[in-house]
Amino acid sequence: MNMLDIKSIKIKLEKLVEYYDGELKPTEEEINRLKSMNFPESYITFIKEFGWGLVLEDYLHLWEEPENSFSVYSNSLIHLENSTIFGENLSGEMLLFNNKSGEVLIVFANGEIEKKFSSFEKFIVYYLDYIIEIEEE
């Protein structure tokens, strides 16, 4: 992947952050799931206040400084409520970053793994179709 591709992907991610910013508030079930996964209380409070959109900003930080971002949070999570991605409705599904291996997992609410990517970059390339779809709306 060349530098031009990376810059283009970052711009698309920034637009995706704007799209979600403040629109998707977590449900009580999602909050309980975060607690059960030992997310920091300050992070949970932040998500309650500002919605899932700002969690997407973690993707930008992961892209720019993966070593720093992974050290701040053990996992990053996004809820894709009423979203269509990869041609499927992903209501209730979640994306989970595993910081120990650097893998990115798309995980159902029940914990079943839907897709697995060996790196953040591979996930982003796969995710671009969805980002482009949002930009066109």
Q: What is the pLDDT of residue 116?
A: 74
| Joined tokens for residue 129 | 């179709």
State which residues of the chain have pLDDT below 50.
Answer: 1-4, 6, 21-22, 54, 57-94, 97-99, 109-110, 131, 134-135
Q: What is the pLDDT of residue 84?
A: 39
Q: Is 127 exposed, middle or buried (0-12, 13-18, 19+ CB in 10 A)?
A: buried
Going from N- to C-terminal start, the domains of the chain cover 3-136
Q: What is the pLDDT of residue 51?
A: 63
Q: What is the pLDDT of residue 70?
A: 33
What's the gap between Cα 5 and its chain centre?
Answer: 20
Average pLDDT value over all residues in the chain: 54
- Which amino acid belongs to residue 106? I
Q: What is the pLDDT of residue 48?
A: 73
